[in-house]
Amino acid sequence: MEAESNGTPSDTEPDRMDLELLAIGKKAGLTFDEMNLLRVRDLLKFVQIYTGSGDEETETVRQATQADFDSF
């Protein structure tokens, strides 16, 4: 998330990264004191683990068959 050379944020960079990080931490249930103990990279990794997103393998969803409905 590098800013452009003229100092303005790029299209992908939020205007207030500090507020974005605080909002992310609060949505994950952290207090401000807990967030203060973390580095930025630790906060982002925590939220990534908390939300279950990342490089983990995801389970594939298959179409239900008539046998599935019958067994239900």
Q: What is the pTM assigned to this prediction?
A: 0.53
Task: In whole angstroms, give the CA distance from residue 52 to residue 49.
Answer: 5
Amino acid letter at 24? I
pLDDT band at 60 (very low <50, low <70, confident <90, very high): confident
Alpha helices in the chain (DSSP H): 17-27, 32-37, 40-51, 66-71
Which is it for the CA torsion 18, 22, 23, 28, positive or negative? positive
Q: pLDDT (tens digit, 9 = 90+) per residue, 2-44?
A: 555 566 656 677 788 889 889 989 998 999 999 999 999 999 8
